[in-house]
Structure 1
Amino acid sequence: MKEKSILIVEDEMIVAMMIKLKLIEMGYKVAGHAVSSEQALLMVNENNPDLIIMDIYIKGNLDGIETALEIEDRCSVPIIFLTGDSSNETTTRASFAHPVGYLQKPFMDEELEYVIESAMHKHIAQTRDAAIAN
């Protein structure tokens, strides 16, 4: 499963670089790094990632939740939300985008690895269940 590609959508460069280095160390391919909603939407179309790590508060015309909803309308790419905001309002809004996981900033390397592995398995199970239902 480690050959999967992951798109990072994060406008804080230090956080993005830390995630990128950890993903490479874990054996994943980094499909790209977007800093805005517009850039993220382009990269999803161009790079066809297997997973997206999306900060909820990003630059651009859309925030991370709105960008995730737009991506969901276009294709089936699982999304892990990354945020420093754990308020009920934010998590409730985020739930409408059907994320496969959440990472609360700041996070430990082990948490990143666990959330990615769980998200990949959850997405495989959801895809399988949807195929069986049809």
Structure 2
Amino acid sequence: MSKLGRILVVEDESIIARDIAMQLCDLGYAVLGPASSGEQAIAMANSLMPDLVLMDVHLAGHMDGIDAAQLIRTQYAVPSLFLSAFDGPDSLRRAKQCEPAGYLVKPFEDHQLRDAVATAFASLG
């Protein structure tokens, strides 16, 4: 197991999910998933107990990433770092209510992902 932490990747675009997972693995994190829907993310959080969820805001299915992150935080006390191609005020306002570990706007550079994840883990104590 990784000494840096376990991250559940929730992204409904498989190419993006695979790229993020490879970046995180290269950084030394244990990558769980990917999950492609909010419902799948909740089930995986329950069974895998990640330290952090990297959550896309807009997901396929009936539940968006913000609603899934709120349930995961409430039920399992696992924070989320949001990813979104849309940084509109409504999404940001809703995301803030989940007390996220961070928010990255896609597309992002490798160093931005690295720094956001490192900062999220530092804030977890």
Superposed pair shares fold, TM > 0.5: yes
What's the CA shift string for 1:29-88, capped at 9, x where partnerless?
112210011110110011100111000001222100010111122011121000011111
Q: Does 1:74 align with 2:66?
A: no
Q: CA RMSD in A?
A: 1.2
Q: Does 1:95 align with 2:118?
A: no
Q: Which SS does the other structure have where 1:7 is aligned? A: strand
Q: Which SS does the other structure have where 1:54 is aligned? A: strand
Shift of 1:2: 4.3
Point out where structure 2 has 5 or more consecutive residues left out of the alignment. Answer: none
Point out where structure 1 has 5 or more consecutive residues left out of the alignment. Answer: 125-134
- Which position in structure 2 is the counterpart of 1:116? 117
Letter in 2 for 1:57: H
- Which position in structure 2 is the counterpart of 1:48? 49
Q: Which SS does the other structure have where 1:62 is aligned? A: coil
Identity score, percent: 40
CA 1:2–1:114 in structure 2 vs 1: closer, same or farther (change >3 Å)? farther
Q: How many corresponding residue pairs?
A: 124
TM-score by length of 1: 0.88
Q: Which SS does the other structure have where 2:78 is aligned? A: coil
Query: Which structure 1 residue ranges, 4+ long, deviate > 4 Å from structure 2?
Result: none
CA distance in 2, matches of 1:2, 1:91: 31
CA distance in 2, matches of 1:92, 1:38: 22
- Which position in structure 1 is the counterpart of 2:65? 64
- Which position in structure 2 is the counterpart of 1:16? 17
Q: Which SS does the other structure have where 2:111 is aligned? A: helix
Larger-gyration structure (1/2): 1
CA distance in 2, matches of 1:36, 1:13: 12
CA contact (8 A) 2:69 2:79 kept: no
CA distance in 2, matches of 1:72, 1:28: 20
